[in-house]
Amino acid sequence: MEIIIDIEDSTPLFTQLIDQIKGAVLKKKVRPGDALPSIRQLANDLRLNNKTVAKAYRLLERDSVIQTKGYRGTFVHPNAVANCTVDLNEWVTQKLTETIAEFKQAGVTDSEIRIAFSSVMNKQNI
């Protein structure tokens, strides 16, 4: 299975990687339990920074599409096919849309929402 990335594309490189790996899982080009290349190997083959591939792997691991088994390497998650269809970005957008709509209905202004949002995010990141 070959993955192709376009360095001139407006989509961030790590997102392209995530999409390609998810695509490979959904098309059954890679199956649950299959080993994936190491971060270094993939980064060198694609002539990308290790951090870019690491970020893609981290997000895929968060979404339970892949799993890292220590020194043995990275593997496709047993529930990868089901988890590939879950789009956390879409879910976040939907939840935020609903919440913001609620706030607006209650008469909260845009700037109040922004300030509150930033404040909550800052507290979360401390």
Partner 1 sequence: MFENILFYPIFLSQILLISYYFPKKILTRTKLVLQNYPPEQYPKLYVKPIKFYNSVLRSFKIANQIILAIGIAGIIGLGYLDMSHEGSIAEFIPLIYFMIQILPVFLMEVFGFAYFKMMRKADTRTTRKAELMPRKLTDFVSPIAVGLAIFMFFACLLFFYLLEGFQYDLRNDTFIIFLTLGFSNLFFCVIIYWNIYGKKLDPYQAGKDRVRQIEITVKSLVYMSILASMFLILTKSINVFDLDYLETALMSVYLQIVIWLGLGSMLKNIRLENLDFDVYKNEAAAS
Residues of this chain that interact with partner 1 (CB under 8 A) are: 1-9, 20-21, 24, 29-30, 35-38, 40-42, 44-48, 73
Tokens read off for 105 = 């209905």
In whole angstroms, how close is the CB of 109 to partner 1 at the nearest point? Answer: 44
How many CB atoms are located within 10 Å of the residue 57 CB? 23
User: Are 46 and 5 within 8 A, CB to CB?
Assistant: yes
DSSP state of 86: -
Sheet containing strand 74-76, strands side by side: 35-36, 74-76, 66-68
User: Are 14 and 59 within 8 A, CB to CB?
Assistant: yes
In whole angstroms, how close is the CB of 85 to partner 1 at the nearest point? Answer: 19
Of residues 73 and 78, the one with the C-beta less far from partner 1? 73
Of residues 4 and 126, the one with the C-beta less far from partner 1? 4
In whole angstroms, how close is the CB of 93 to partner 1 at the nearest point? Answer: 29
Of residues 5 and 113, the one with the C-beta less far from partner 1? 5
DSSP state of 48: -
In whole angstroms, how close is the CB of 17 to partner 1 at the nearest point? Answer: 10
